[in-house]
Amino acid sequence: MAFYGPIRLVGFSDIPTLYRMILPERGDVYVMCGADILINGLKTDLRAEARCPICGTVTRFHVDNRRIEDLAPKDPALHVVELEQAPGRMSIKCDSTHIFDKKDCLTKWLSNYTGKPGLVISLPEYMDSLNKRPPRKVSPA
């Protein structure tokens, strides 16, 4: 787990991944999955890049004041697998949680996916759902 100033980063990776955050005064930080970017966006403003696991296209966006801004392409999808560990403790299954730049890539990936069923949702909708939840501890599964 890494620290960025007074906050602890969720899903920090020492090696480059498909999911990069650009933090003010810190620069590039990689996380394990797309949901990790949004969860960290609850604590700090950031810029982000997510590479589609199927075609490699980069989705770019900002998280400002806990809201998604400047999303390009305009309608990527998040497949997220959340696991309730205990009351107030949620885990994300990162190897099953990805951001897809277009529906065709998501459909192709899902056609070969055999893991736990996940939620398919837009990035702004998932961020809104995180904003409505009570604070909880989050850890990668």
| CATH code, domain carrying 104 | 3.30.450.410
**Residues of the chain below pLDDT 50:** 1, 6, 141
Q: Is the dihedral of CA 130, 97, 47, 61 positive or negative?
A: negative
Number of H helices, E strands in the chain: 3, 14
CA nearest to 36, candidates 13, 59, 4: 13
Structural domain containing residue 98: 3-140
Q: How many domains does the chain have?
A: 1
Q: State pLDDT tens for residues 72-82.
A: 999 999 999 99
